[in-house]
Amino acid sequence: MSPTVETPAVPPTTPSSFLGQFLDHLRVERKLARNTILAYGADLRPYLAYLAKRNVLLTEVGPGDLSDFLWARRGAPLKSSSLYRLSESLRQFHRFLKIEGVCRADPTVQLSTPKTSERLPHVLSVEEVSRLLAHTPKPTEHSLRFKAMLELLYAAGLRVSELVSLPCDAIDLEVGFVRVFGKGGKERVVPINRRAIHAIRVYRESLKISKDERVVQSERPAPGERSVRCAHPLFVGRAGRPLTRVAFWYELKKWARDAGLYKHISPHVLRHSFATHLLKGGADLRVVQEMLGHSDISTTQIYTHLDREAIKKAHRTFHPRG
Protein backbone atom coordinates (compact mmCIF):
# COMPACT_ATOMS: atom_id res chain seq x y z
CA MET A 1 0.00 0.00 0.00
CA SER A 2 1.56 3.23 -1.09
CA PRO A 3 2.06 5.90 1.57
CA THR A 4 -0.42 8.73 1.68
CA VAL A 5 1.02 11.95 0.37
CA GLU A 6 -0.25 14.97 2.24
CA THR A 7 -1.29 17.86 0.04
CA PRO A 8 0.34 21.11 1.23
CA ALA A 9 -2.09 23.54 2.75
CA VAL A 10 -3.18 26.27 0.38
CA PRO A 11 -2.93 29.70 1.98
CA PRO A 12 -6.32 31.36 2.36
CA THR A 13 -7.14 33.85 -0.38
CA THR A 14 -10.39 35.34 0.86
CA PRO A 15 -10.66 39.13 1.21
CA SER A 16 -10.88 38.76 5.01
CA SER A 17 -7.65 36.74 5.04
CA PHE A 18 -5.87 39.49 3.07
CA LEU A 19 -7.18 42.01 5.57
CA GLY A 20 -5.79 39.88 8.40
CA GLN A 21 -2.40 39.74 6.68
CA PHE A 22 -2.47 43.51 6.20
CA LEU A 23 -3.27 44.15 9.87
CA ASP A 24 -0.49 41.74 10.90
CA HIS A 25 1.85 43.70 8.63
CA LEU A 26 0.90 46.92 10.40
CA ARG A 27 1.44 45.35 13.81
CA VAL A 28 4.63 43.34 13.22
CA GLU A 29 6.53 45.21 10.50
CA ARG A 30 5.35 48.78 10.88
CA LYS A 31 4.82 48.48 14.65
CA LEU A 32 1.77 50.74 14.67
CA ALA A 33 -0.19 51.33 17.84
CA ARG A 34 -3.06 48.99 18.69
CA ASN A 35 -5.70 51.72 18.34
CA THR A 36 -4.35 52.68 14.92
CA ILE A 37 -4.60 49.08 13.73
CA LEU A 38 -8.14 48.83 15.08
CA ALA A 39 -9.02 51.98 13.11
CA TYR A 40 -7.68 50.45 9.88
CA GLY A 41 -9.75 47.34 10.49
CA ALA A 42 -12.87 49.39 11.22
CA ASP A 43 -12.40 51.28 7.94
CA LEU A 44 -11.69 48.29 5.73
CA ARG A 45 -14.28 45.74 6.89
CA PRO A 46 -17.22 47.80 5.53
CA TYR A 47 -15.21 48.22 2.32
CA LEU A 48 -14.81 44.47 1.86
CA ALA A 49 -18.51 43.96 2.64
CA TYR A 50 -19.35 46.58 0.00
CA LEU A 51 -17.25 44.78 -2.62
CA ALA A 52 -18.80 41.40 -1.73
CA LYS A 53 -22.30 42.83 -2.05
CA ARG A 54 -21.46 44.07 -5.56
CA ASN A 55 -19.58 40.86 -6.48
CA VAL A 56 -16.35 42.78 -7.12
CA LEU A 57 -13.12 40.85 -6.54
CA LEU A 58 -10.13 42.59 -4.94
CA THR A 59 -8.13 41.87 -8.09
CA GLU A 60 -10.77 43.66 -10.18
CA VAL A 61 -11.24 46.83 -8.11
CA GLY A 62 -10.97 50.00 -10.18
CA PRO A 63 -10.97 53.73 -9.39
CA GLY A 64 -14.72 53.84 -10.04
CA ASP A 65 -15.41 51.24 -7.36
CA LEU A 66 -13.39 53.23 -4.84
CA SER A 67 -15.15 56.48 -5.71
CA ASP A 68 -18.56 54.80 -5.45
CA PHE A 69 -17.68 53.37 -2.06
CA LEU A 70 -16.46 56.72 -0.71
CA TRP A 71 -19.55 58.44 -2.11
CA ALA A 72 -21.76 55.87 -0.38
CA ARG A 73 -19.92 56.46 2.87
CA ARG A 74 -20.56 60.20 2.62
CA GLY A 75 -24.19 59.43 3.35
CA ALA A 76 -23.30 57.79 6.69
CA PRO A 77 -22.68 60.72 7.35
CA LEU A 78 -18.96 60.96 7.98
CA LYS A 79 -16.90 64.00 8.87
CA SER A 80 -14.39 65.17 6.30
CA SER A 81 -11.59 64.06 8.62
CA SER A 82 -13.10 60.54 8.79
CA LEU A 83 -13.37 60.39 4.99
CA TYR A 84 -9.75 61.44 4.74
CA ARG A 85 -8.71 58.64 7.10
CA LEU A 86 -10.87 56.17 5.19
CA SER A 87 -9.26 57.07 1.86
CA GLU A 88 -5.82 56.69 3.48
CA SER A 89 -6.80 53.24 4.76
CA LEU A 90 -7.79 52.23 1.22
CA ARG A 91 -4.48 53.50 -0.14
CA GLN A 92 -2.40 51.61 2.38
CA PHE A 93 -4.39 48.39 1.91
CA HIS A 94 -4.21 48.36 -1.91
CA ARG A 95 -0.55 49.34 -1.83
CA PHE A 96 0.06 46.31 0.39
CA LEU A 97 -1.89 44.04 -2.00
CA LYS A 98 0.22 45.19 -4.92
CA ILE A 99 3.51 44.72 -3.07
CA GLU A 100 2.42 41.22 -2.03
CA GLY A 101 1.56 40.37 -5.64
CA VAL A 102 -2.14 39.92 -5.00
CA CYS A 103 -3.08 42.70 -7.44
CA ARG A 104 -1.23 43.84 -10.53
CA ALA A 105 -2.17 47.49 -10.16
CA ASP A 106 -2.99 49.91 -7.38
CA PRO A 107 -6.41 51.48 -8.09
CA THR A 108 -5.90 54.17 -5.44
CA VAL A 109 -3.26 55.96 -7.54
CA GLN A 110 -6.04 57.97 -9.20
CA LEU A 111 -8.07 58.38 -6.00
CA SER A 112 -8.63 62.00 -5.06
CA THR A 113 -8.18 62.85 -1.41
CA PRO A 114 -11.19 64.42 0.33
CA LYS A 115 -10.45 67.92 1.56
CA THR A 116 -10.34 68.40 5.31
CA SER A 117 -10.72 71.55 7.31
CA GLU A 118 -7.52 71.98 9.26
CA ARG A 119 -8.20 72.16 12.98
CA LEU A 120 -5.49 73.76 15.04
CA PRO A 121 -5.10 72.27 18.52
CA HIS A 122 -6.12 74.22 21.60
CA VAL A 123 -3.19 75.62 23.57
CA LEU A 124 -2.72 77.55 26.79
CA SER A 125 -0.58 80.67 26.93
CA VAL A 126 2.63 80.64 28.97
CA GLU A 127 0.88 82.78 31.57
CA GLU A 128 -2.04 80.34 31.82
CA VAL A 129 0.27 77.35 32.24
CA SER A 130 2.20 79.28 34.90
CA ARG A 131 -1.04 79.96 36.78
CA LEU A 132 -2.01 76.29 36.54
CA LEU A 133 1.35 75.09 37.86
CA ALA A 134 1.54 77.77 40.54
CA HIS A 135 -1.67 76.53 42.17
CA THR A 136 -0.69 75.09 45.55
CA PRO A 137 -3.43 73.42 47.60
CA LYS A 138 -2.93 72.00 51.07
CA PRO A 139 -0.05 69.48 50.86
CA THR A 140 -1.42 65.96 51.07
CA GLU A 141 -0.21 62.76 49.43
CA HIS A 142 -3.01 63.18 46.89
CA SER A 143 -2.22 66.82 46.01
CA LEU A 144 1.55 66.24 45.96
CA ARG A 145 1.09 63.31 43.59
CA PHE A 146 -1.05 65.32 41.19
CA LYS A 147 1.33 68.30 41.40
CA ALA A 148 4.24 66.02 40.41
CA MET A 149 2.25 64.47 37.55
CA LEU A 150 1.18 67.87 36.25
CA GLU A 151 4.69 69.31 36.34
CA LEU A 152 6.06 66.23 34.54
CA LEU A 153 3.28 66.21 31.94
CA TYR A 154 4.10 69.77 30.84
CA ALA A 155 7.87 69.54 31.35
CA ALA A 156 8.22 66.54 29.00
CA GLY A 157 5.15 66.91 26.74
CA LEU A 158 3.94 63.41 27.61
CA ARG A 159 0.76 61.73 26.48
CA VAL A 160 -1.47 61.01 29.46
CA SER A 161 -1.24 57.26 28.74
CA GLU A 162 2.56 57.53 28.95
CA LEU A 163 2.36 59.52 32.19
CA VAL A 164 0.11 57.17 34.15
CA SER A 165 2.05 54.05 33.08
CA LEU A 166 5.57 55.31 33.92
CA PRO A 167 7.57 52.92 36.11
CA CYS A 168 9.65 54.62 38.79
CA ASP A 169 12.93 53.58 37.13
CA ALA A 170 11.99 55.60 34.02
CA ILE A 171 13.02 58.78 35.87
CA ASP A 172 16.61 59.86 36.54
CA LEU A 173 16.32 62.80 38.90
CA GLU A 174 20.08 63.33 39.14
CA VAL A 175 20.65 63.80 35.41
CA GLY A 176 17.15 65.14 34.81
CA PHE A 177 15.44 63.02 32.15
CA VAL A 178 12.54 60.65 31.69
CA ARG A 179 12.62 57.53 29.48
CA VAL A 180 9.32 57.03 27.71
CA PHE A 181 7.91 54.16 25.63
CA GLY A 182 5.38 55.75 23.30
CA LYS A 183 3.20 54.54 20.43
CA GLY A 184 4.40 51.33 18.82
CA GLY A 185 6.81 50.73 21.71
CA LYS A 186 9.19 53.45 20.45
CA GLU A 187 11.54 54.68 23.14
CA ARG A 188 12.55 58.30 23.60
CA VAL A 189 14.44 60.21 26.27
CA VAL A 190 13.17 63.66 27.23
CA PRO A 191 14.85 66.14 29.59
CA ILE A 192 12.84 67.50 32.50
CA ASN A 193 13.22 70.77 34.37
CA ARG A 194 14.07 71.51 38.01
CA ARG A 195 10.45 72.22 38.94
CA ALA A 196 9.36 68.76 37.82
CA ILE A 197 12.34 67.13 39.54
CA HIS A 198 11.55 68.93 42.81
CA ALA A 199 7.82 68.06 42.63
CA ILE A 200 8.58 64.36 42.05
CA ARG A 201 11.07 64.29 44.94
CA VAL A 202 8.58 65.91 47.31
CA TYR A 203 5.89 63.44 46.23
CA ARG A 204 8.15 60.43 46.68
CA GLU A 205 9.28 61.64 50.09
CA SER A 206 5.62 61.84 51.07
CA LEU A 207 5.27 58.11 50.35
CA LYS A 208 8.07 57.28 52.82
CA ILE A 209 9.56 54.82 50.37
CA SER A 210 12.26 52.40 51.47
CA LYS A 211 15.97 53.03 50.87
CA ASP A 212 16.15 50.35 48.15
CA GLU A 213 13.40 52.08 46.17
CA ARG A 214 15.05 55.43 46.80
CA VAL A 215 18.20 54.32 44.93
CA VAL A 216 16.56 55.35 41.65
CA GLN A 217 16.21 58.97 42.65
CA SER A 218 19.13 59.68 44.99
CA GLU A 219 21.98 57.19 44.57
CA ARG A 220 24.21 56.67 41.57
CA PRO A 221 25.58 53.09 41.38
CA ALA A 222 29.35 52.77 41.63
CA PRO A 223 31.31 51.61 38.53
CA GLY A 224 30.64 47.93 37.97
CA GLU A 225 27.84 47.88 40.51
CA ARG A 226 24.37 46.81 39.40
CA SER A 227 21.67 49.40 39.90
CA VAL A 228 18.48 48.48 41.73
CA ARG A 229 15.53 48.40 39.36
CA CYS A 230 12.21 49.73 40.50
CA ALA A 231 9.47 48.33 38.30
CA HIS A 232 6.39 49.48 40.21
CA PRO A 233 4.47 52.52 38.95
CA LEU A 234 5.95 55.94 39.64
CA PHE A 235 2.53 57.43 40.44
CA VAL A 236 0.24 55.21 42.47
CA GLY A 237 -3.34 55.66 43.62
CA ARG A 238 -5.36 53.59 46.00
CA ALA A 239 -4.07 50.10 46.81
CA GLY A 240 -0.83 50.92 44.96
CA ARG A 241 -2.48 50.90 41.56
CA PRO A 242 -1.64 53.41 38.78
CA LEU A 243 -3.98 56.34 38.32
CA THR A 244 -6.23 55.89 35.27
CA ARG A 245 -6.32 58.36 32.36
CA VAL A 246 -9.94 59.26 33.10
CA ALA A 247 -9.22 59.88 36.78
CA PHE A 248 -6.31 62.14 35.86
CA TRP A 249 -8.47 64.07 33.38
CA TYR A 250 -11.16 64.71 36.00
CA GLU A 251 -8.55 65.78 38.52
CA LEU A 252 -7.02 68.16 35.96
CA LYS A 253 -10.39 69.82 35.33
CA LYS A 254 -10.90 70.37 39.06
CA TRP A 255 -7.33 71.62 39.52
CA ALA A 256 -7.78 74.11 36.66
CA ARG A 257 -11.02 75.45 38.13
CA ASP A 258 -9.36 75.89 41.52
CA ALA A 259 -6.52 77.75 39.78
CA GLY A 260 -9.02 80.11 38.12
CA LEU A 261 -8.78 78.67 34.59
CA TYR A 262 -12.19 78.07 33.02
CA LYS A 263 -11.24 77.48 29.37
CA HIS A 264 -11.04 74.10 27.63
CA ILE A 265 -8.25 72.04 29.14
CA SER A 266 -7.17 68.42 28.85
CA PRO A 267 -3.90 66.48 29.17
CA HIS A 268 -3.43 66.79 25.41
CA VAL A 269 -3.89 70.57 25.58
CA LEU A 270 -0.84 70.65 27.86
CA ARG A 271 1.09 68.49 25.39
CA HIS A 272 0.14 70.91 22.58
CA SER A 273 1.14 73.83 24.79
CA PHE A 274 4.51 72.21 25.53
CA ALA A 275 5.31 71.90 21.80
CA THR A 276 4.00 75.35 20.90
CA HIS A 277 5.92 77.12 23.66
CA LEU A 278 9.16 75.35 22.67
CA LEU A 279 8.82 76.40 19.03
CA LYS A 280 7.91 79.97 19.96
CA GLY A 281 11.03 80.02 22.12
CA GLY A 282 13.19 79.09 19.12
CA ALA A 283 13.48 75.30 19.44
CA ASP A 284 14.28 73.32 16.29
CA LEU A 285 11.30 71.50 14.76
CA ARG A 286 13.11 68.15 14.60
CA VAL A 287 14.14 68.39 18.25
CA VAL A 288 10.50 68.96 19.21
CA GLN A 289 9.51 66.03 16.98
CA GLU A 290 11.94 63.80 18.88
CA MET A 291 10.67 64.92 22.29
CA LEU A 292 7.04 64.38 21.29
CA GLY A 293 7.78 60.96 19.83
CA HIS A 294 6.27 61.74 16.42
CA SER A 295 7.36 59.30 13.71
CA ASP A 296 6.55 61.81 10.94
CA ILE A 297 7.68 65.44 11.13
CA SER A 298 4.53 66.53 9.28
CA THR A 299 2.62 65.72 12.49
CA THR A 300 4.84 68.15 14.40
CA GLN A 301 4.50 70.88 11.77
CA ILE A 302 0.95 71.65 12.92
CA TYR A 303 2.52 73.68 15.74
CA THR A 304 4.27 75.96 13.26
CA HIS A 305 0.79 76.82 11.94
CA LEU A 306 -0.08 78.05 15.41
CA ASP A 307 2.84 80.45 15.22
CA ARG A 308 1.70 81.71 11.83
CA GLU A 309 -1.80 82.29 13.22
CA ALA A 310 -0.32 84.38 16.04
CA ILE A 311 1.72 86.37 13.52
CA LYS A 312 -1.34 87.05 11.35
CA LYS A 313 -3.36 88.11 14.39
CA ALA A 314 -0.63 90.52 15.49
CA HIS A 315 -0.41 91.91 11.96
CA ARG A 316 -4.15 92.49 11.80
CA THR A 317 -4.16 94.12 15.23
CA PHE A 318 -1.15 96.42 15.02
CA HIS A 319 -0.46 97.08 11.33
CA PRO A 320 -1.84 100.47 10.17
CA ARG A 321 -3.48 98.74 7.21
CA GLY A 322 -4.07 95.39 8.88
CB contact burial 36-66 (16+ within 10 A = b; e otherwise):
ebebbeebbeebbeebeeeebebeebeeebb
Cα diameter, the chain: 101
189, β-bridge pairs: 179
**Is 272 annotated in the active site?**
no
**Is 294 annotated in the active site?**
yes
Of the candidates 248, 258, 282, 256, which has an alpha carbon nearest to the alpha carbon of residue 153?
248
Catalytically annotated residue among 94, 159, 204, 272: 159
Q: Report yes or no: 293 and 186 within 8 Å, Cβ to Cβ.
A: yes
Rounded distance, CA 67 to CA 250, Å? 43
**Is 316 annotated in the active site?**
no
Q: What is the DSSP letter of 181?
A: E
Of the candidates 136, 248, 256, which has an alpha carbon nearest to the alpha carbon of residue 202?
136
Rounded distance, CA 107 to CA 65, Å? 9
> C-alpha angle with apex 30: 278 to 21, nearest 5 degrees?
150
Q: Report yes or no: 180 and 293 within 8 Å, Cβ to Cβ.
A: yes
**Is 303 annotated in the active site?**
yes
Catalytically annotated residue among 85, 147, 271, 277: 271
Catalytically annotated residue among 25, 201, 268, 280: 268
Catalytically annotated residue among 135, 183, 201, 245: 183
**Is 183 annotated in the active site?**
yes
* Active centre residues (catalytic): 159, 183, 268, 271, 294, 303
